[in-house]
């Protein structure tokens, strides 16, 4: 008899074991509706990234002021240096002190190699001022999520290089994308105009 019970129980065991797969967290009592961000804000992404100081940062930390964002990686031979040069050029086109209010966040596509330390070295090498420019890294999964939100497409090649598109994206203070341009070689007039508007002290 006991044997039979054991046999029966062992049959049920797989389902119990499988139950582990289903995530354990109980559902919250009420669906949260209180989020401050609009439906199209990237700040809804709660994943954490890591800055050059090793601190955890989130997109929502950027709230309150516009941010120019792009993705790159330190071992990139051609596209990324041009991207950085393009950002400098954009900055140069800003007037009325807007350049001082410009905040740029560059996020790596290369979770494995671009540690915070590596990014600090890169910033030094490329003469990027870390006071106004932030370089972020993170988990590969989260970097891919951010890339999808920004519209960056990329692929790791067999030789370790990463082929990627290089758009430059402008987020407003609420995390919404308000302008986009290709990384290099396009007419930037419209982008700069929107950027200037966003950085207008009245708007901030």
Partner 1 sequence: MLLGLGGFGCGNATVELPVERAVLTPPPRVPAPIERDHPARVVVDLEVVEKTMRLADGVEYMFWTFGGTVPGSFIRVREGDRVEFNLHNHPDNKLPHNIDLHAVTGPGGGAAASFTAPGQSSRFEFTARHPGLFVYHCATQPVGLHVANGMYGLILVEPKAGLPEVDREYYVMQSEFYTRGAYGEEGDQPFSMDKAVREQPDYVVFNGAVGALMDERALTAKTGETVRLFVGNGGPNLASSFHVIGEIFDKVYIEAGDRVNHHVQTTTVPPGGATIVEFGVETPGTFLLVDHALFRAFHKGTLGMLKVEGPENPVVFQPGEVGPEERRAPRVPSESAPAPTPPPLEGALEESMRRGKKVYAASCLPCHQADGTGMARVFPPLAASDYLMEDLDRAVDIVIRGKRGEIVVNGETYNQVMTPQNLTDRQIADVMNYVTRSWGNAGEEVFGPGRVREVRESGKERGR
Partner 2 sequence: MRKLLWVGWMCWVSGVGAGEMARVPAGRFVPLANSVDPVRVAAFRMDRLPVTNAEFLEFVKANPEWRKGAVRAVFADEGYLRHWAGPLELGDAAPPDRPVTSVSWFAARAYAEWRGKRLPTVAEWERAASLTPEAEARARVLAWYAEPLRFPLPAVGSTPANEAGIRDLHGLIWEWVEDFDAISVTSRAADGDRPSPFFCGGGAAGVADPSDYAAFLRYAFRGSLSATHTVAGLGFRCARDEENTP
Q: Which residues bind partner 1 (CB under 8 A)?
A: 151, 177, 179-182, 186-191
119 vs 136: CA distance, rounded Å: 8
Within 8 A by CB and 6+ apart from 44, the residues are: 35, 37, 175
- For the chain, what's the residue count? 204
Is 1 among the residues that bind partner 2 (CB under 8 A)? Answer: no
Q: Cα angle at 67 between 49 and 79, to 5 degrees? A: 75
Question: Max CA-CA distance within the chain?
Answer: 88
Q: Which does 191 bind (CB under 5 to 8 A by kind): partner 2, partner 1, none?
A: partner 1
| Structure-token pair, residue 88 | 């400098």
Contacts to partner 2 from residues 144-163, by CB under 8 A: 144-145, 148-149, 151, 153-155, 157-158, 161, 163
Total residues contacting partner 2 by CB under 8 A comes to: 38
Which residues make up the interface to partner 2 (CB under 8 A)? 3, 7, 10-11, 13-14, 17-18, 21-23, 25-28, 31-32, 39-42, 44-45, 141, 144-145, 148-149, 151, 153-155, 157-158, 161, 163-165
């Amino acid at each position: 008899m006991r044997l039979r019970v054991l046999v029966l129980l062992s049959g049920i065991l797989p389902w119990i074991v499988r139950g582990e797969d289903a995530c354990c967290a109980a559902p919250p009592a009420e669906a949260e509706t209180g989020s401050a961000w609009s439906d199209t804000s990237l700040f809804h992404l709660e994943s954490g990234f890591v800055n050059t100081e090793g601190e955890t940062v989130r997109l929502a930390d950027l709230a309150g002021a516009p941010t120019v964002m792009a993705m790159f990686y330190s071992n990139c031979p051609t596209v990324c240096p041009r991207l950085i040069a393009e950002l400098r050029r954009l900055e140069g086109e800003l007037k009325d002190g807007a350049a001082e209010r410009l905040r740029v966040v560059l996020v790596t596509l290369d979770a494995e190699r671009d540690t915070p330390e590596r990014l600090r070295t890169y910033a030094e090498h490329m003469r990027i001022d870390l006071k106004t420019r932030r370089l972020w890294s993170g988990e590969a999964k989260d970097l891919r999520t951010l890339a999808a939100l920004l519209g960056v497409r990329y692929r790791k090649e067999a030789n370790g290089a990463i082929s990627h598109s290089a758009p430059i994206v402008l987020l407003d203070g609420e995390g919404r994308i308000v302008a986009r341009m290709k990384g290099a070689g396009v007419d930037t007039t419209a982008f700069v105009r929107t950027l200037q508007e966003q950085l207008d002290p009245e708007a901030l």
